[in-house]
Structure 1
Amino acid sequence: MEPGPAGWGRELYERVLDALGTMTGGPLLDVGCGAGELCRLAVDRGLSVRGVDANPEVLAAAAQLVPEAELLTGALPSLPIPDRSAAAVTCVQVLMHVPNPVAALRELARVARPGVPVVVTVWGPVEQCAFGAFGRALAPFLGGPLPGGGGRGGGRGNGRGNGGPRPLSSPGRLEKLAGLAGLPAARVEEVRCPFDYPDERALLAGLYAAEVGRRAVAEAGSRASVRKAVLAGLAEYRTVSGGYRLENTFQVLVAHA
């Protein structure tokens, strides 16, 4: 879970579902389904849905939000899904968190029926993701930036350091990885999703509810230290009304199995 405001992902989820086109002959598989927000929108569009996530707690939340969905525990690159069984595959904001993106993409291709869409999203370029301010503010507690934070690239985060792989958001990078994984002729689109927080309380509530926020508090020893660092780090994004607005770009990879 990212420390974003409630409902931040709706525009991104809608773009992902639009990219699927017309689906027939089976369920949509949402890998890394989290609390089920995309699954809910998909069911509301009349789709059959199956969700997979590694976290039993968020799957329990998804079961409440989308009782129509089949929900399974699992994670990339080894999904509990038969070969060629999905009528489409979505994977939103997961690829940045896996050690081997090619292996993860290859697994998405395995579970998709031939010719069906596979849609994956990652953070856009660092300079287009104000969300990175969270990572810079929390780095003293966590020892490094958050994905998309300017250090969710070739496996962990969207920045390059110590001669590591190029960021996933680098020009042509996602398309190349998809080709290596057996997903040729992929294209990448961009979508802007601002994170809007009405006030300081909302900003911090989202952070404390996220795993990264809980880790930061545990390392810092108190919420007060985390609060001070975050408010200082995000001061430039404060609006005249006292809220916060962080503009972000996401990349949407659209391929076919």
Structure 2
Amino acid sequence: MNGGEPDRWSAVAEEWSALWGSMPQPVWAAVAAAAAIGPGSRVLDIGCGAGEFVAYAAGLGAEVSGVDPAPGMVSRARARVPGASIEVAGFEELPRPERPFDVATAFNALQFAEDPVTALRRTADVVAAGGRIAIANWAEAERNDIEALEAAIARAAGEEPVPDDELRLPGGLERVMAAAGLADVLAGITDVEWTTPDEEHLVRGILLGEDDATIDELRSTLLEAAAPYRTAEGGYRLVNAFRWAVGTAGR
């Protein structure tokens, strides 16, 4: 499911969390290390989804908060991390904290902002001077097995695959951070795997949010495209990559 519509994400919050929520864990570890998230860190996760990274940061000893524009996601995040402050908001309406955060993170969320540079500047307003802002999202299409499936579905629908945006390309995150006034940018790329135990989980995950008729129509196309990634056990393993960058906020 593509796009940033809060109502659509609310409707699929439970299934998205089950199928996709833990996939970026290798990226969480890379970002947490680069941003020095640890005991006592005040961390805000923007676009927190169902709260998976909020819970991860809490496990590192951080004091955690989160925002997401989808109420359904916020509800699940609150249930996952009862001690965290989780609010319905996006980059455009970040709540002012009583004390600034040490770190703000956003995983696969900045591309949904109205303007990435403005979004990062707003984020810097809620981060302490010298604090860090960390962004991570999918890398360019050629690095992601999942793109072969997405391209096949697009062709079946008579559409062209969506081209890579600036944030997915090499140097894209660094450029947008520099434009927003962030300094000392550290960037990297981390491989992530998405695995499913069977065909049904694959179809549900890739066609998340589609109606039954669309799923029935696209099932065979999807399974044909996914055949090279089928495992001996009957599941699927897709190797993908996320780019990430961590910059320092100033005043």
Task: Calculate the TM-score normalised by the size of structure 2.
Answer: 0.83
Partner of 1:192: 191
Structure 2 unmatched runs, 5+: 3-15
Call closer, same or farther: CA 1:182–1:6 in 2, change over 3 Å: closer
Q: Distance in 1 between matches of 2:185 and 2:103?
A: 15
Among 141, 148, 152, which residue is 1:137 paired with?
Answer: 152
Call closer, same or farther: CA 1:63–1:142 in 2, change over 3 Å: farther
Partner of 2:85: 70
Q: Secondary structure at the match of 2:65?
A: strand
Indicate conservation of the 8 Å contact 1:23/1:88, yes or no: no
1:150-165 alignment runs, 5 A limit: 151=163, 158-159=164-165
Call closer, same or farther: CA 1:82–1:222 in 2, change over 3 Å: same
For residue 141 of structure 1, report the CA deviation from its aligned partner.
Answer: 4.4
Q: Secondary structure at the match of 2:96?
A: coil
Q: Distance in 1 between matches of 2:137 and 2:148?
A: 17
1:111-190 alignment runs, 5 A limit: 111-139=126-154, 140-141=156-157, 143=159, 145=161, 151=163, 158-159=164-165, 167-190=166-189
Call closer, same or farther: CA 1:79–1:22 in 2, change over 3 Å: closer
For residue 131 of structure 1, report the CA deviation from its aligned partner.
Answer: 1.8
1:1-257 alignment runs, 5 A limit: 5=20, 7-21=22-36, 27-82=42-97, 85-139=100-154, 140-141=156-157, 143=159, 145=161, 151=163, 158-159=164-165, 167-208=166-207, 213-215=208-210, 217=211, 221-257=213-249
Structure 1 unmatched runs, 5+: 152-157, 160-166
The alignment of Structure 1 onto Structure 2 pairs a total of residues equal to: 233
Q: Distance in 1 between matches of 2:21 and 2:97?
A: 34
Indicate conservation of the 8 Å contact 1:117/1:254, yes or no: yes
Q: C-alpha deviations, 1:16-72, integer Å up to 9, x for none?
A: 222221557762100000000001111111111110000000111111110010011
Indicate conservation of the 8 Å contact 1:195/1:248, yes or no: yes
Amino acid in structure 1 at the alignment position of 2:136: T
Q: Secondary structure at the match of 1:193?
A: strand
Indicate conservation of the 8 Å contact 2:37/2:103, yes or no: no
Q: Distance in 1 between matches of 2:228 and 2:55?
A: 35
As a proportion of its length, which structure holds more strand? 2
As a proportion of its length, which structure holds more helix? 2
Amino acid in structure 2 at the alignment position of 1:189: G
**Percent same amino acid among aligned pairs?**
30
Amino acid in structure 2 at the alignment position of 1:172: G
Partner of 2:13: none
Amino acid in structure 1 at the alignment position of 2:224: A
Task: Calculate the TM-score normalised by the size of structure 1.
Answer: 0.81
Call closer, same or farther: CA 1:172–1:11 in 2, change over 3 Å: closer
Q: Distance in 1 between matches of 2:206 and 2:142?
A: 21
- When the two chains are superposed, the root-mean-square deviation of aligned CA atoms in Å is 2.5
Indicate conservation of the 8 Å contact 1:26/1:85, yes or no: no
Amino acid in structure 1 at the alignment position of 2:143: Q
Call closer, same or farther: CA 1:6–1:254 in 2, change over 3 Å: closer
Amino acid in structure 2 at the alignment position of 1:214: G
Amino acid in structure 1 at the alignment position of 2:206: L
